[in-house]
Amino acid sequence: MRRTTAIYGLMAEFRSPHEVVEAARAVHDAGFRKVDGYSPYPMEELSEALDQHHSPLPKIVLAGGIIGLLAGWGLEYWASVIEYPMNVGGRPFHSWPAFIVPAYETTILFAAAAAVLGMLALNGLPEPYHPVFNVPGFVLASRDKFFICIEATDPKFDREGTKKFLAGLGATEVSEVEH
């Protein structure tokens, strides 16, 4: 009965950062692509081993900064020149040197907001439910254990074969991830 239900994937647990990176390289070399690694702290080596070391975030942040600059300056120009021109000590309505500071601040504000919201969006957060949380030992992923999960949608995925393959990589435990 249990064997016929569809699963999300297979989760292998590893004890050390060294073991999980070795295993991740092997998984990637074996041709698996729908794979994710889990670690209690950022590990550049793990992202690299799984070839997930690219992020479009810098471009999003650059766009945020440019929009912030234009929005800040546009606001100052519109308010001081078009909507509410005010003669302050004979200065021109478009007193650009004085407009630098607020525009500088809005540039940083928009870029920082783009970094935070962009990171959350790229990671698909908030996401209250995810199948990996169904693995009982997975709570330790935020403490001291390392995991690799191969998803069932990977073309090379085979329930028994992949399980054997993961166990052969030095995993302390391989469990099925239910939906």
- List 112, 134, 154, 176, residue binding other proteins (CB under 8 A): 112
173 near other proteins, rule: CB under 8 A = no
Find the shortest distance in angstroms from Cβ 69 to other proteins: 13
63 near other proteins, rule: CB under 8 A = no
Find the shortest distance in angstroms from Cβ 164 to other proteins: 23
79 near other proteins, rule: CB under 8 A = yes
27 near other proteins, rule: CB under 8 A = no
The pair of structure tokens assigned to 116 is: 């935070």
- Cα(106)–Cα(99) distance, rounded to whole angstroms? 11
- Cα(44)–Cα(83) distance, rounded to whole angstroms? 51
113 near other proteins, rule: CB under 8 A = yes
One-letter identity of residue 174: V
Residues 6+ apart with CB under 8 A from 150: 9, 10, 12, 27, 32, 34, 35, 157, 162, 166
- Cα(153)–Cα(15) distance, rounded to whole angstroms? 26
The pair of structure tokens assigned to 14 is: 């590893």
Contact range with other proteins by CB under 8 A, out of 1-9, 132-140, 156-164, 166-174: 132-140
- List 1, 83, 136, 160, residue binding other proteins (CB under 8 A): 83
DSSP 144: T
DSSP string, 36-58: EEE-SS--HHHHHHTT----SHH
The pair of structure tokens assigned to 8 is: 């999300």
- List 12, 23, 106, 177, residue binding other proteins (CB under 8 A): 106
Find the shortest distance in angstroms from Cβ 46 to other proteins: 5
Binding site for other proteins (CB under 8 A): 16-18, 21, 24, 36-47, 50, 52-55, 57-58, 61, 65, 75-76, 79-80, 83-84, 86, 88, 91, 95, 98-99, 101-102, 104-106, 108-109, 111-113, 115-116, 118-120, 122-123, 125-130, 132-133, 138-144
